[in-house]
Structure 1
């Protein structure tokens, strides 16, 4: 049995044993119980009182007389306590005697006869009528007869009896000889065991049952602690920990999340021999690399994961997607453009070539310069799909983002960069430049200004309510199904557990597991928008080097 199952067994025992003990004590054993205690059984002889000869009343006990006036020769005294020691009350109908028998309990004293008897203590004053003249309280043939007394829980009464030794009591009798204990005869219908009255003990210390139960629970706690501390040293690594090498490729927008998650995974599972390789060159190129790697190694045996902003092409059927998060993107501008908010229509006019100067949208008198990603970028696909829906396809018209290439049409220059960092750096150093990137990458830049779209900032709440349009689902792709204990499968599970979700969330993304429909992994539906006249994929392949 492995460590986890032992921990479960100990935890179950730690809960069940006290429950069973309580049920046994208070439901089964303590259901209904009549008990008695002999609280005093002592003699009163001359030898006992010789040492008190100087006291005025030293011989008082010697003057005790029987009911017929005969002086007691060898008197003794017994104090008997009758009590309800169970968990429920006892009624007069509960005594195991015939209905017309007024006596509920009888007490015999072997070797002695009863010279006198009195009820000395009642736990409750309302019990007093139970011992009236016609209650059945009497002494008959040397036996004390006690009436059927109703007793609530813990209720009791006490009986003091004066006794005389029977048989030979001459000078040869030993006054110190012990008496046999009293015999208490009585029973309760439906009581513990056979229902008979049971002798109880005065609890002056902790019961051994309680001590045993506490010791057992301490052992359970120590056992769980030992398994937690020492058992983990020899235990196998968790299921999600797997050794080997894994290459992470694809989206540069998701790169910070993957680098941080890979580092955290290595810290957790480092003993398994984990190595990550990072190669982020864009979503499309990442998918192509995964397809080539999978074709070489075979389905399900790849050591590569590709992450993309959006879906794959239709001609890659063996690439299987798994939604990981939805990612927010943002427009960024050079700080001197003077623009902080653009409508979707203005963005379309900027990238469509209708607006060439920032003053036309309330900004500074600066020419508009566009900075885009390469055509293999998933971020560019997201931008063209969700933001720029113009009929003009983006074409690279400049290399330095300032000077148009020969033969290019008039309008804002458009240059392209191969990574998110490249776009952000170019916008930051080019006056009048505008670009786009993942929100997390842009948020930490103090040399750029983030642009609202239709008055909405790039927030998860705005995207969730359909007010912010620039977002996309981040997918992880495998070539076929990876083995369950492979590093690829383990890392994918890690991204969706608590630690992995914390990493995704800390970078400004929303983990798919936190959405209402994790399978679709998308915010609430957005308001309907006019369809684009011509999409980037419809505008003819091969036009220019970018897309």
Structure 2
């Protein structure tokens, strides 16, 4: 069994969502916390700030040798081993003969006194006091001093097991600056070194880790958490707001040439664009342009020419050309194979000047039989009827003749021949007719020619300006109207190939996409019903 995987934006975000917390964990708990000396300034407040409670003002009246302290303040420090390994005296990065491991400097203040207030282990007491000639005194490296006018607390090189800590309470007073000015934050000076090897020598250069009371992780860990949060938000946004059609199950590369129906062209073009986008990584391309779709009959002819030019023989098929037709192709085409794709809606469209929005089926037949030549005869304006038709062989025209103009069981009624070669020659004085080559041109001419009546694919007509879609017997062009038998103007859309295209060809892959995969959603968007959703897909008849 083999597994395939293709990278896309969502996959990259998902991978980062996994990698970031893993890297953050390794950094925080394996690298950074291997040897980590941390501190917290748990309190730094003026004694005068406490004078809001009864009798608390005694704290502001502290003395030293009978002298009142100037703006006395309290500081509580916590020093801890926040890493995974013990810290010993040799880990402190100070000279060997310097017994002080940590220096805490207070600008504009003098340290008056201090005491160790909490020890996680009683044995830590011996790092702070010593017995000299039977007298208890401060151990070497522990005490207070001044540097450049700033008070300094010196803390000894205390050996700390993992999780061990101690606290120091100090009393300070202002030594410089203006009364009432805010004091600067204490500055810690300390480094620790850890064991290293030739692969991770840089670990030994880790500095003192600041872990103030409001901080729960190191800065790199916070950055990692922020990146993780961003990745999760991006991935969630993609899932919620960037929903794409599912990719084809079997993308195939190559260049696909399309031909045929101008009415079905908008839906097929949209589906082809999505297929090319989804399968672009496999080199799929479907070039589209103004000359791609020239009508059902011309599309079939173009497909036959392509097959003959490729020298296809025997039972082989052409794998890079497809022609789409409204209904079955006219004439004999022994090398072509037809596949029903969907059934589409068509509609009659009329110029606004005609003054009609609804015609009975019999009125439509009488108009195309030239029995009705003025719109006033059907309750409209006194404007002659001018027919704007598609060329003979157009699937839209054929569907009109077969499903609307011909009575059931009777002979097929055909659209009358054109009376002028240019639609602009039609006028307001007498009825006439012209022919055009594509749906877009037909809609434009119907909008421009007074009293014009034409036929079009429904979704295209819905977006056209200055034309009115005509209801037939009061029924609009809807799929439900087709499926319950009330609306007559519809047709099956067929895809023609030259022989059976190879299964691994782009033509076969696109047909699978169009009928069984994401292409079905595109067809629905354009008001077409995919044949795969009908009761008998190979017949593609409404239920």
Give the TM-score of the pair, scaled to structure 1: 0.51
Q: What stretches of structure 2 of length at least 5 have no aligned partner? A: 6-246, 407-411
CA distance 1:394–1:485, shift in 2 (3 Å): same
Deviations 1:417-471 (A, max 9, x none): 1000010000011111110100010011231110001111110001001110000
2:294 to 264, 269, 281: 281
Shift of 1:402: 5.7
What is the SS of the residue equivalent to 1:315? coil
Shift of 1:240: 2.4
1:403–1:413 Cα contact (<8 Å) kept:
no
Once residues 426 and 351 of structure 1 are traced to their aligned partners in structure 2, the CA distance between those partners, rounded to angstroms, is 18
Q: Does 1:349 align with 2:371?
A: no
Q: Does 1:295 align with 2:315?
A: no
Once residues 361 and 509 of structure 1 are traced to their aligned partners in structure 2, the CA distance between those partners, rounded to angstroms, is 31
What is the SS of the residue equivalent to 1:473? strand
What is the SS of the residue equivalent to 2:456? strand
In structure 2, the partner of 1:470 is 489
CA distance 1:260–1:358, shift in 2 (3 Å): same
2:265 to 255, 265, 288: 255
1:428–1:448 Cα contact (<8 Å) kept:
yes
Residue pairs, 1:372-383, within 5 angstroms:
372-383=389-400
In structure 1, the partner of 2:473 is 454
Q: Does 1:385 align with 2:402?
A: yes
Once residues 429 and 393 of structure 1 are traced to their aligned partners in structure 2, the CA distance between those partners, rounded to angstroms, is 21
Once residues 431 and 252 of structure 1 are traced to their aligned partners in structure 2, the CA distance between those partners, rounded to angstroms, is 24
Once residues 318 and 461 of structure 2 are traced to their aligned partners in structure 1, the CA distance between those partners, rounded to angstroms, is 36
Q: Does 1:416 align with 2:435?
A: yes
CA distance 1:473–1:392, shift in 2 (3 Å): closer
1:239–1:485 Cα contact (<8 Å) kept:
no
1:436 to 440, 455, 461: 455
Once residues 294 and 319 of structure 2 are traced to their aligned partners in structure 1, the CA distance between those partners, rounded to angstroms, is 19
2:350–2:453 Cα contact (<8 Å) kept:
yes
Once residues 361 and 352 of structure 1 are traced to their aligned partners in structure 2, the CA distance between those partners, rounded to angstroms, is 15
CA distance 1:312–1:348, shift in 2 (3 Å): same
Once residues 487 and 269 of structure 1 are traced to their aligned partners in structure 2, the CA distance between those partners, rounded to angstroms, is 10
Shift of 1:267: 1.4
2:248–2:513 Cα contact (<8 Å) kept:
no
1:283–1:378 Cα contact (<8 Å) kept:
yes
Once residues 476 and 323 of structure 1 are traced to their aligned partners in structure 2, the CA distance between those partners, rounded to angstroms, is 6
2:388–2:453 Cα contact (<8 Å) kept:
yes
Q: Does 1:516 align with 2:516?
A: no
2:347 to 301, 308, 330: 330
In structure 1, the partner of 2:423 is 401
1:372–1:423 Cα contact (<8 Å) kept:
yes
What is the SS of the residue equivalent to 1:324? strand
Larger radius of gyration: 1
Residue pairs, 1:480-491, within 5 angstroms:
480-491=499-510
Once residues 505 and 484 of structure 2 are traced to their aligned partners in structure 1, the CA distance between those partners, rounded to angstroms, is 38
What is the SS of the residue equivalent to 2:353? coil
What is the SS of the residue equivalent to 1:253? coil
- Shifted more, 307-316 versus 243-252: the winner is 307-316
Count the aligned residue pairs: 290
1:245 to 231, 236, 255: 255
Shift of 1:391: 5.2
Residue pairs, 1:3-402, within 5 angstroms:
3=3, 240-278=250-288, 279-297=292-310, 298=312, 299-389=316-406, 393-401=415-423
1:402–1:413 Cα contact (<8 Å) kept:
no
Once residues 464 and 498 of structure 2 are traced to their aligned partners in structure 1, the CA distance between those partners, rounded to angstroms, is 36
Shift of 1:273: 1.0
Deviations 1:258-312 (A, max 9, x none): 1111111111100111121331000011111111111222141342100000012
CA distance 1:511–1:391, shift in 2 (3 Å): closer
In structure 2, the partner of 1:142 is none
RMSD: 2.2
Shift of 1:239: 5.1
Once residues 419 and 313 of structure 1 are traced to their aligned partners in structure 2, the CA distance between those partners, rounded to angstroms, is 17
In structure 1, the partner of 2:214 is none
Q: Does 1:507 align with 2:526?
A: yes
Q: What stretches of structure 1 of length at least 5 have no aligned partner? A: 6-236, 525-547
Once residues 249 and 460 of structure 2 are traced to their aligned partners in structure 1, the CA distance between those partners, rounded to angstroms, is 33
Once residues 414 and 517 of structure 2 are traced to their aligned partners in structure 1, the CA distance between those partners, rounded to angstroms, is 44
What is the SS of the residue equivalent to 1:336? helix
Once residues 320 and 326 of structure 2 are traced to their aligned partners in structure 1, the CA distance between those partners, rounded to angstroms, is 21
1:370–1:401 Cα contact (<8 Å) kept:
no
Shift of 1:404: 6.4
In structure 1, the partner of 2:85 is none
In structure 2, the partner of 1:141 is none
Give the TM-score of the pair, scaled to structure 2: 0.51
CA distance 1:313–1:353, shift in 2 (3 Å): closer
What is the SS of the residue equivalent to 1:505? helix
Shift of 1:522: 1.5
